[in-house]
Every structure is written in structure tokens, then in C-alpha cells.
Structure 1
Amino acid sequence: MREVFQNELDGLADKLTAMAEKVVTAIDKASEALHENNLELAEEVIAADAAIDRLQLELDKSAAEILALQAPVAADLRVVISSLRMSASLERMGDLARHVAQQVRIRYPDSAVPAGFEPVFSRMTEAAGRIARAIHHLVSNPGLEAVPTIDDLDESLDTLHLRVFSQISDSDIKPAEVADVTLLSRYLERFGDHAVSVAQRIEYLLTGNWDSKLIPGTD
């Protein structure tokens, strides 16, 4: 009976890994679409987001069945509940990558990144890609060594997010362009926040330590 239960828990981990892998692909393609103004690639990201959503629904259904039929307690219960939380964060990361791609589609054939803002967004998308790959590694190979890297990358995204606003105030761009860079910067900054949320929940599972003040919002 325990072996069957363990297989069900392993199934949750497999779905989280699959979601994290798709998130990496989504943010990498969305970033390329943004910098190359590639509409076709942006459309791929938008369409592929449905697969991440399906994985979340499958995981949530599996978790609900485990809760109803197995009545897990203690560490097993924490695994199930944390899996539900992490799937929500990973799904949101997929949504945010899709939002970046949608900005490309909205502004095409013009670029969603105004002249002069390419360097800061290049750094933001690079950090987003790195944090997504770090999360994929962490989910597939749980351990504490990746957590500081994820935190550092999130801080970099926060700093770059503020730099975008500073650059807006020092530039002479159109109102529509202000909206574009504000939204894009916000999407990438929130992408990092959700990655940190995933990392903190894995850290909690590995150590048993929990501080709710450390968990960022999930808007």
C-alpha cells in the first residue's frame, strides 16, 4: 500500500518537473521573440501555454485524489500541499511568459521594446531564463544549493525593474511605449517572484523551516 502511495507522490513530482521544463522553453522563446520581434515565435509561446495549464489541472486532480483517498499526514501531507502551491506558481510563470509574447503580438510589426531600452530588457530576460532553468533543476533534483542563486537572480530582476522606471523618467518616449516597457518589466519581475516562491516551498520540504513573511505574493 505504501509503495502505491509513494508512486502517487512521485507522479506529482514528475508533473512539477514537466511544468518547470515547459516554463523554461516558454520564457526562452518569449525572450527571443521580444528581442527579435518574431511574431511566429510569440504565437508559439501563446499557444503552448495551454499545455502548462493542462499539467496544472492534472496535478491538482491527482493531489485532490491523494488527499481524499490516502488521507496523508505529517511530511506526506506537506508534500501534497506544497505540490499544489508550486504548480500554481509554475502555471503563473507560464502565464507571464505568455504575456511577454502577447506584447510582441500586440505591437507587431513595431517592436515592443523602444529604442534605448534593449540593454536593460536583454539583462532582464537573461536573468528570467537563468532563474527558470535553476527552478527546473531544483524541482527535478531537490537540494538547497540552488536556492541562493535563485534569490540572487530575483534580486537582479527587482533591481532591473526599478532601473526601467528610472530610465522612463529620463527618456522621451510615447505614452504607449511607456505602457509597453512598464508591463514587460512587471511581467519579468513577477516571473522571478514566483520562482522564489517555488524555491522556498522546496526549501521548506527539505528543512521543515517556514516563514510566511518570506513568501511573495502571487497576484
Structure 2
Amino acid sequence: MREVFQQELREVQDRLVEIAELVVISIQNATRAFNDSDVTLAETVIADDSKIDELTVILDELSIQILARQQPVARDLRIVVSALRISASLERMGDMAEHIAQLARYRFPDKVVPKSLRGTFAEMGRLDVVIAQKLAELLRTQDLELADEIRNEDDRIDELHVSVFDKVLGETWKGQAVDTVDATLASRYHERFADHAVSIAKKVHYLGTGDWAPELAS
């Protein structure tokens, strides 16, 4: 029974990695669609989000079955409970990528944001992709140095997020009302994507050390 239990725990980890890898693809495609005004790619992201949702449900059901059958305690219990919370955050990351893609689809064939902000959003998108890649690797390897790197990347996204608001609220802003709304929404989606990654990194750090590492809190 113990061997079966350990196999089930490995399956939980494998499924988390599988979902995380799909999130990487989703944010890669979403940010490219956003920056390039690629409506076909945007629609692919939107359609594929259902697969992330489906795999999240399957993982949650597996975790609940493990809790019911195996009645884990101590660290094993924390692993299963954390998996439920991590899967929820991964699902939300997929939603954020979908929202970014939806903005690209709504504004096609135009760009979502004015030229003055495109460099900022290109950098935010690049950082989100880097964070997603590091998160998938963190879930695969439990290399806690990656948790710190994710936090550092998130700090940079936070700075860019603030700069977007400074721009649209500044006296030199020439955008229309729709430009202001789109820019603030898009910035929020990029920022929240990274925040969910930090939340997951914090949980993995706790599982590895027993320390909640408040400096990793989103």
C-alpha cells in the first residue's frame, strides 16, 4: 500500500508539471498574439484553455481520492493539500493568459495598446514567459533557487505595472478612453499572472523547507 501511495504522489507531481507546461505554451502564445495582433494565435489560446481546466479537475479529483483512501498525515498530507491549491493557481494563470489573448482578439486588426506602451508590454510578456518556464521547472525539480528567481522576476513586472499606470494617468497621455481601459486591464493580467506564480513558488518552498518564506508572498 505504501508503494501505491508513493506512486500516486508522483502522479500528482507529474500532473502539476503537465499543467504548468501547458500554461507556458498558453502565455507564450497569448503574449505573442497580444504584441503582434495575431488573431489566429489568440483564438488558439482561448480554445486551448479548456484543456488546462480539464486537467485541473482531473488532478483535483485524484488528490481528493488520495485523501479519502490513504488518509495521509504530516508531509504527505501537506503535499496533497498543496497540490489542490497549486492546481487552482495554475488554472488562474491559464485564465490570465486567456484574458490577454481575448484583448488581442477584441482589438484585431489594431494593436491593443498605443505605440508608446508596446515596449513595456513586450517586456512584461517576456518576463511572464520566463516566470512560467521557471515555475514548470520548479515543480519538476523542487529546485528552491528557482523560487527566488521567480520572486525577482515578479518584482520587475510589478515595476512595469506601476509604470503603465503612471503613463496612462500622466498629463502627456494622448490615448482615448478605450486605450486607457485596455492598457490598465492588460497590465493587470500580466501582473496577476506573475503573482499566481509567486504564490505557487511560496507553497513549493514551504514543502521543501517547512518555512513559509514571507519574502515570497505575492
Give the TM-score range, shorter chain. over 0.9
Q: Distance in 2 between matches of 1:179 and 1:82?
A: 35
Deviations 1:77-122 (A, max 9, x none): 0000010111011110000000000001111121112121111001
**Farther-moved stretch of structure 1 (163-172 vs 40-49):** 163-172
Aligned-partner SS, 2:116: coil
2:202 pairs with 1:204:
no
Q: Secondary structure at the match of 2:145?
A: coil
Partner of 1:139: 139
What amino acid does structure 2 have at the position aligned with 1:23? V
Identity among equivalent positions (%) equals 45
Structure 2 residue identity aligned to 1:122: A
Structure 2 portions without partners, runs of 5+: none
Question: Corresponding residue for 1:159?
Answer: 159
Aligned mates of 1:175, 1:142 — CA distance in 2: 45
Structure 1: 4+ residue segments shifted above 4 A: 211-214
The one-letter code sitting in structure 1 at the alignment partner of 2:18 is A
How many residues are matched?
216
CA distance in 1, matches of 2:204, 2:149: 14
- Computed over aligned residues only, the root mean square deviation of the Cα atoms, in angstroms, reads 1.2
1:97 aligns with 97
8 Å contact kept, 2:205–2:213: no
Partner of 2:125: 125
Q: What is the CA–CA distance in structure 1 between the aligned matches of 2:215 and 2:131, rounded to whole Å? A: 21
Contact 1:112 1:177 in 2 (8 A): yes
Shift of 1:214: 5.4
**TM-score normalised over the length of structure 1:** 0.96
- Residues 21 and 136 in structure 1, CA contact (< 8 A), matched pair in contact too: yes
Indicate which of 177, 187, 193 corresponds to 1:191.
193
Question: Is residue 2:23 matched to residue 1:23?
Answer: yes
Q: Secondary structure at the match of 1:111?
A: coil
Deviations 1:1-49 (A, max 9, x none): 1010001111110110001100000000001101110000000000010
Q: Tell me, in whole angstroms, the C-alpha distance in 2 between the residues paired with 1:125 and 1:89.
A: 18
Question: What letter is aligned with 2:17?
Answer: T
